[in-house]
Amino acid sequence: MKHFLLLVLFLLGYSLKAQEEVSNKDGVDVHHVPLNQKEDSLYLKNTILNAHWHAHIRSFLMSTTNEGDLKDDYALAAGAGIGVLTKPLYGFQVGLSGFFIYNLLSSDIDQPDPQTKASNRYELGLFDILNPGNKNDLDRLEELYLKYTLSKSSITFGKININTPFLNPQDGRMRPTLEEGVWININESKTFGFNGGWIWEVSPRSTVQWFQIAQSIGINPSGITTSGSKSDYYSNLSSAGMFIANVYYRPSEKLKINLWNGFLENIMNTAMVEVNANKSLNNNHSFYQGLMFMHQDAIRSGGNENPSKSYIDKGAQSNIISAQLGIKNKRVNTSVNYTHITGDGRYLMPREWGRDPFYTFLPRERNEGFGNIHAISIKSSLSVFKNSLTAGMGYGYYHLPDVKNYRLNKYGMPSYHHLTLDAAYRFQHFLKGMELRMLVVSKIKQGETYDDLKYIYSKVNMLNFNLIIDFRI
């Protein structure tokens, strides 16, 4: 059914494009309605003829080399999708998109490492982690929403793509995380604004299904409880949804204050304040800084009365502070970043929903699930050839609690050094719309692992290589 939907979308888009070309040959621009034909713009056919169509083709090659005899893996994925956003009709628009993926080539990514019995952590995420053997039937209805716009504000209902500190696309695999709910944007003032809404379903990246919000938590490996037993909250949590609210205040172009709150009904509440400021040093350089504070509290029993099946311990809390100092010009951007999660408890946010919002974040690892950590990172990027070529590097050191400190180390991750190299080239002229990106990641063990390879495999002493080609129309 999903393949059929994508085919219909593609053929309809192609036919509309052909009709547009024919109309233009006759001297009629279907994208601009003359004033004396204003009433025609209210016709349903014009909302379709003048719709914005877009297509995306992606290939993703990934490989991971682990220490010694630990299992190495590779995979090559390819896919394509198409979407449409209709022209406004009385302020209303409809958005629709879908995507399909194929496993063109891969190692036995559905098989665990023979020594540690741990599952593949990276390559499998290009496909469907809930059905590792599926190589062909990987399609998803991604967006299906109704949007109403009034002036500079809007309200959207349906399957959407939002970007918040709690739920975000985390587009480090073939497809991003998506949400279903109602979302409001109020942007009438240059000084104040509001974004927020109620989310009740999620389709995490590396899956092709949609889940009630509570059932989406725990699809990825869920680690251990604070007492050291295996977490068992997957499919055992109860929540009606998540309310997210963002109020921002921008007193000037050089200062912005963001207040965020994420209320995950029956499980936990997360509040965050972020202040970003910048200052011009001269005509070419500017200095920027950011400061973030986050606080979390458990709600009731954390999603389940049984502690082994709850997402967060009853009465638990966590506190996080993250800071950034940077300098940039038109070509170079360099920042020094620091994050501290206090020893009050673990910072928790479902890994299925997005990446960490902290300034110290580097690709292929997170600080979610840990407490009492100190993290520092240095990031630098260079843009040349009119921003067609961008290259960057990052280094981070993450001092984590001991792997056997179950209360503060959910996933048994040792302290580590983190190195990243990335480059992206955006083609021009004949290949305009195509982007080639490379990412190389290395994580090197620093903390004690007690000669247990389960603390090593796919976590540290590893090299992860990625080559991505995107073509957008």
pLDDT in tens, 302-344: 999 999 999 999 999 999 999 999 999 999 999 999 999 999 9
Beta bridge partners of 292: 274, 322
pLDDT at 32: 33
Q: Would you place residue 49 in the very low, low, confident or very high pLDDT band (cuts 50, 70, 90)?
A: confident
pLDDT at 24: 43
Contacts for 407 with CB less than 8 Å, ≥ 6 apart: 226, 345, 346, 371
Q: Would you place residue 227 in the very low, low, confident or very high pLDDT band (cuts 50, 70, 90)?
A: very high
pLDDT at 28: 36
Res. 251: pLDDT tops 90: yes
- Lowest-pLDDT range, 40-49, 137-146, 178-187, 210-219? 40-49
Asked if 288 contacts 276 with a C-beta cutoff of 8 angstroms, the reply is yes
Q: What does the pLDDT average to over 430-439?
A: 96
Q: How far is CA 258 from CA 89, 272, 280, 467, in A?
A: 33, 8, 21, 35
Q: Of 123, 143, 42, nearest to 89 (Cα)? A: 42
Neighbours of 27 (CB within 10 A): 6
Q: What does the pLDDT average to over 39-48?
A: 64
- Selected residue with higher pLDDT from 29 and 400: 400
Contacts for 278 with CB less than 8 Å, ≥ 6 apart: 254, 286, 287, 288, 289
- Selected residue with higher pLDDT from 339 and 27: 339
pLDDT at 17: 47
Q: What does the pLDDT average to over 3-27?
A: 46
Distance linking the first and last C-alpha atoms of the chain: 24
- Lowest-pLDDT range, 5-19, 230-244, 436-450? 5-19
Asked if 291 contacts 323 with a C-beta cutoff of 8 angstroms, the reply is yes
Contacts for 358 with CB less than 8 Å, ≥ 6 apart: 292, 320, 322, 337, 339, 367, 375
Beta bridge partners of 180: 159, 201
Average pLDDT value for the chain: 91
The fold adopted by the segment(s) 51-472 is Porin (2.40.160)
Q: Would you kindly state where each structural domain of the chain is located, as residue ranges?
A: 51-472
Q: What is the 3-state secondary structure (H, E, C) of the chain?
A: CHHHHHHHHHHHHHHHHHHHHHHHHCCCCCCCCCHHHHHHHHCHHHHHHCCEEEEEEEEEEEEEECCCCCCCEEEEEEEEEEEEECCCECCEEEEEEEEEEEEEEECCCCCCCCCCCCCCCCHHHHCCCCCCCCCCCEEEEEEEEEEEEECCEEEEEEEECCCCCCCCCCCCCCCCCEEEEEEEEECCCCCEEEEEEEEEEEECCCCCCCEECCCCCCCCCCCECCCCCECCCCCCCCCCCEEEEEEEEEEECCEEEEEEEEEECCCEEEEEEEEEEEEECCCCCEEEEEEEEEEEEECCCCCCCCHHHCCCCCCCEEEEEEEEEEEECCCEEEEEEEEEECCCCCCCCCCCCCCCCCCCCCCCCCCCCECCEEEEEEEEEEEECCCCEEEEEEEEEEECCCCCCCCCECCCCCCEEEEEEEEEEECCHHHCCEEEEEEEEEEEECCCCCCCHHHCCCCCCEEEEEEEEEEEC
Asked if 295 contacts 318 with a C-beta cutoff of 8 angstroms, the reply is yes
Q: What does the pLDDT average to over 363-385?
A: 97
Answering whether pTM is above 0.85, one says yes
pLDDT at 386: 87
